[in-house]
Amino acid sequence: MQDLRDQLCLAIKDLYGLDFVPEFSPAPANIAADYSSSAPLKLAKILHKSPMAIASELAAQLQDVEVSAPGFLNFILSDEYLAQNITSLSIDFSKNISSDEYSGQTVICEFSDPNPFKVLHVGHLYTSIVGDSISRLFEYAGARVIRANFGGDVGLHVAKTLYILEQSALDDFTIDDIAKCYVEGTAAYEDDEKARAEITELNKEIYRINQTDDHSTDLAKLYWRGRELSYQYFKDFYTNIGVHFDKFYPESSVTDLGMEKVSKELEEGVYEMSQGAVIFDGEKYGLHTRVFINKEGVPTYETKDVGLIFAKWQDYHFDKSVVITGSEQLEYMKVVLKSVEQYAPELVEKTTHLTHGLVKLPGNVKMSSRKGNFLKAVDVLGMVKSELQSAYDSSDDTVALAATKYAFLRYRMGGNIIFDPKESVKMTGNSGPYLLYSAVRAKKILQKSSSLASSVAKYDAHERGLAKKILEYKSVLAEAVAEMAPHKVAGYLYELAQEFSRFYENCPVVGNDKEVERTQLVTSYLATITHGLNILGIDIPEEM
């Protein structure tokens, strides 16, 4: 379909000198065509001409196109066209040929962003999966992609954790001990004035320990050991879900740069003093006011995010920076970016902030890491494996991960997600295992077929349906890249697998008179679904 759109774009440009992107859709059932475009109706308003006249002029420039009232272009795809194009598509994917929307550009994608001294929860799992998929879309579009991860190795959350950890007198401790200490420390900070004051002082000392690389005191030893445990825990988790990062930015590594920028712009009037703290008055811009340096002289998250923006720029001189966070960070990031816009507008212009909602289990239970009633990331994967074991007597890691990733990625990013482990592993319906089973089925057909030569015969309805759906893929990819929307790929793959299922049920391949051309269809299908699943970060097993 992308090829047809490109041809129509060129015809419109040649005839009318317009850069116009036409709409395409499957032709209605009562029209003997494959695709239709209403471009002449839209162009009539621009050119002040009859839609039918425009349709006739365009049809004369194109092949296999018919005109219908009140001004539609109806495209009829020949069997030869379908066969040639699905073969070409398969070859492109086998050679890993990408598109070129971002060719030569550097895109930095920042996502996941867990804080050391806290446990990874289901939200981190979700943002890790969606961030990796968006990164893969940019890579397909020709970009050099830097996957970045930003986390708070200093800050109040660290002080809350170490406040309890100091008192526990553990000879050694684990990441689970750290999680419990954070919950207890948060409660102490919120409920006990004396504890709040001690944690505030502890926060300053942790900054000193980090900045001076002090390992001499008991507190310092606790801090560095906890930091080490946290980063190893993160590394193991990302390895298990097939996500990698090119750059980790601990908050401490960007704090000085953030302080430098905020202090300089305080003198220039971008930031201002209020009750001993440095703030940005967001209300001037219809936003809210936030503190960037508190009255104790300690930089807040806001200043660290300022430092991060400039650190990314210094390290990579990016063409585009994508930051993915939970939706609760939306207003916060608006203030941070608005402040930076006052003195570095070009960096803000290159930055896109994407947000996602909460991930909840059926029953809509609200979870909070502060209260300790949150769902850990590893627990989600464990639940899925348990459902696989219960339903199919199998706990295959590849299938479990595919089920989890697809269950997240099938939704448009932005709203809340209800994650149902039982639904995620179903072999029928809109699920990751269903797509894997379809791909494995195609592999089995090709293993049994001895036909490799290409041929063109007249396609029947089911063959044409599969061929046309395969050819829609590049258009879907183009939309997914433009909108940074992996859910478009996920939705397409489900429709593609359904089309293949109809083909499989009605069109035997091995030993059939049409084995040659049907084998080519299956080959193209497998190449397409494999490529699409790769965009989602999903591997296909050999067996299911």
Residue pLDDT, tens place only, 296-354: 888 899 999 999 999 999 999 999 999 999 999 999 999 999 999 999 999 999 999 99
**Could you give the CA distance from residue 28 to residue 140 in angstroms, rounded to a whole number?**
32
The pTM of this model reads 0.90
For the domain that residue 469 is a member of, what is the CATH number?
1.10.730.10
SS3 237: helix
Q: What is residue 109's DSSP assignment? A: E
Does 222 lie in the same domain as 160? yes
Does 403 lie in the same domain as 354? no
User: Residue 394: left (phi > 0), alpha (psi -120 to 50), or beta?
Assistant: beta
Does 210 lie in the same domain as 244? yes
**Could you give the CA distance from residue 483 to residue 487 in angstroms, rounded to a whole number?**
10
Question: Quick check: is 157 in a domain?
Answer: yes
For the domain that residue 342 is a member of, what is the CATH number?
3.40.50.620
Whole-number pLDDT of residue 372: 45
Residue position matching structure tokens 């299956």: 522
**Could you give the CA distance from residue 190 to residue 187 in angstroms, rounded to a whole number?**
5
Whole-number pLDDT of residue 369: 45
Question: Quick check: is 98 in a domain?
Answer: no
Question: Quick check: is 370 in a domain?
Answer: no
Does 483 lie in the same domain as 420? yes
Nearest one of 304, 295, 299 to 333, comparing CA atoms? 304
Whole-number pLDDT of residue 171: 77
β-strands 272-274, 277-280 pairing: antiparallel
Question: Is the model's pLDDT at 402 over the cut of 70?
Answer: yes
Mean pLDDT for 390-415 is 94
Nearest one of 137, 122, 5, 125 to 487, comparing CA atoms? 137
Residues above pLDDT 70, as percent of the chain: 97
Domain boundary among 76, 98, 122: 76
Does 223 lie in the same domain as 352? yes
Question: Quick check: is 542 in a domain?
Answer: no
How long a stretch of residues is the chain?
A: 544
Q: Do 74 and 68 form a contact (C-beta atoms < 8 A)?
A: yes
- Quote the mean pLDDT of the chain: 92
Question: Is the model's pLDDT at 454 over the cut of 70?
Answer: no
Note the helical H segments in 278-352.
301-316, 330-341, 345-349
Does 384 lie in the same domain as 299? no
For the domain that residue 50 is a member of, what is the CATH number?
3.30.1360.70
Whole-number pLDDT of residue 437: 96
Does 131 lie in the same domain as 42? no
Domain boundary among 317, 333, 359: 359
Mean pLDDT for 115-133 is 94
Does 301 lie in the same domain as 215? yes
Does 313 lie in the same domain as 194? yes
Lowest average pLDDT, out of 87-96, 332-341, 523-532, goes to 87-96
Does 403 lie in the same domain as 297? no
Question: Quick check: is 207 in a domain?
Answer: yes
Q: Which two tokens stand for residue 3?
A: 């090829």
Question: Is the model's pLDDT at 44 over the cut of 60?
Answer: yes
Whole-number pLDDT of residue 501: 97
CA distances from 206 to 38, 39, 163, 370, 445 (A): 64, 63, 11, 20, 61
Whole-number pLDDT of residue 370: 45
> What's the domain count of the chain?
3
Question: Quick check: is 544 in a domain?
Answer: no
Of residues 28 and 311, more confidently modeled: 311
Question: Is the model's pLDDT at 77 over the cut of 50?
Answer: yes
Q: Which two tokens stand for residue 364?
A: 């809509």
**Helix 486-506 vs helix 473-483: angle between axes, to the nearest 10 degrees?**
160
Query: How would DSSP label each residue in 39-89?
Result: HHHHHHHHHTS-HHHHHHHHHTTSSSEEEETTTEEEE---HHHHHHHHHHH
Q: Which two tokens stand for residue 506?
A: 């009605």
Does 482 lie in the same domain as 435? yes
Sign of CA dihedral 162, 163, 166, 168: negative
Whole-number pLDDT of residue 229: 95
Does 137 lie in the same domain as 284? yes
* Upstream peptide bond of 22 is cis (omega within 30 degrees of 0): no
What are residue 316's phi and psi, to 5 degrees? -130, -15
Whole-number pLDDT of residue 406: 98
Residue 513's domain comprises 377-535
Note every long-range contact of 184-193, with CB atoms under 8 Å and residues 24 or more positions apart, other chains counting: 185/159, 185/160, 185/161, 186/157, 186/160, 186/370, 188/160, 188/163, 188/164, 189/156, 189/160, 189/163
SS3 186: helix
Confidence of residue 476 (pLDDT cuts 50, 70, 90): very high
Question: Is the model's pLDDT at 368 over the cut of 50?
Answer: no
Confidence of residue 187 (pLDDT cuts 50, 70, 90): very high
Domain boundary among 76, 99, 130: 76
Q: Do 459 and 499 form a contact (C-beta atoms < 8 A)?
A: no
Q: Which two tokens stand for residue 350?
A: 């290159």
Question: Quick check: is 155 in a domain?
Answer: yes
Question: Quick check: is 259 in a domain?
Answer: yes
Whole-number pLDDT of residue 57: 93
Q: Pseudo-torsion of CA 508, 512, 517, 520, nearest 10°?
A: 60
Whole-number pLDDT of residue 64: 84
SS3 233: helix
β-strands 106-110, 144-151 pairing: parallel
